Amino acid sequence: MRVHVRALLTIAAVFWAALAINAGATGTEPAIDPQVDPAACLVAIAANDDDKIMAVCGSLIDSQKTARGDRIKALMARAAVFSRRNQVDRAIADYDAVVLLDAALADVYNSRGELWRKTGDRRKALADFDAAIKRNPDFAAARTNYKDLVLELERLGALMAVYNKPSFNCARARRAVEKAICADPALANLDREITAVNAKVIERARAANPPAGRTLQHEQDAFVARRNAGFGQADFDLLKAMRARLDQLLAIERAM
């Protein structure tokens, strides 16, 4: 029995040895995936060579053997190139990958926030600027971006509050022309713009020359009188008249 077992072990050893020799002879052993050399990518990054970054950093990003720090550098560099080339979605995707590797990099959140703002997604942009500040409270660029975006959102909120509303209180409208303006969003917005631009040009004019400011106010009063008198007449186009007045005021503003 012992002889039989020993014979079986000997046969198995010979079998596996033959397999090993055969694999070596035919070159079918598993290949070792070598670590990608980051040198070329890092040199391209140091030289700010966009074309070279795109050509050589991709393999560094894709390889599973790339060191974490080198992959982050390559992703950030490529994201910056995508951003400069206005390939916003691809830049954001690379910054997303960086965040997964290291969630503590404040500049990544700030850069991604700027891209989100460019796409019009202010909510995500504000969240990224806030994240950048939390990670680096002294990050001046992120703080500026956050403040500017908050002010922009406040302005948008103020505009939405008066959108499709004229410069006067519709609840107190008595004239037919005023009721028509209140009933038409386009006319309401025009009326509000006319009033705002008129106030601006009068203020500027008065600061330099008070009589000029009074003249501009008289012109506005005359326009309102013509508008009120003309409304309802067959040959009077209220929308056209209001657009013409706004264009006139904008021209005055540009000339100041």
**What is the pLDDT, as a whole number, of residue 13?**
47
Domain, as residue range, for 208: 170-255
Q: How confident is the model over 141-153, as pLDDT tens digits? A: 999 999 999 888 8
Structure tokens at 105: 């990099």
Residues 230 and 186 in one domain: yes
Tell whether pTM > 0.85.
no
For 41-64, what is the mean pLDDT? 93
**56 found inside a domain:** yes
% pLDDT > 70, the chain? 85
Residue 34 confidence (pLDDT) above 60: no
Residues 186 and 237 in one domain: yes
- Rounded to whole angstroms, the Cα distance separating 197 from 220 reads 11
Residues 92 and 112 in one domain: no
Please, are residues 165 and 181 in contact by the beta-carbon 8 Å criterion?
Answer: no
Residue ranges of alpha helices (H) inside the chain are 2-26, 39-46, 50-62, 68-84, 88-101, 106-119, 122-135, 140-162, 176-183, 185-208, 210-230, 238-255
For 130-141, what is the mean pLDDT? 96
**153 found inside a domain:** yes
Residues 89 and 135 in one domain: no
- Which of 127, 162, 197 is where one domain is finished? 162
pLDDT band of residue 51 (cuts 50, 70, 90) is very high
Residue 54 confidence (pLDDT) above 70: yes
**148 found inside a domain:** yes
Q: How confident is the model over 242-251, as pLDDT tens digits? A: 999 999 999 9
Please, are residues 99 and 72 in contact by the beta-carbon 8 Å criterion?
Answer: no
CATH of the domain at 143: 1.25.40
Residues 129 and 90 in one domain: no
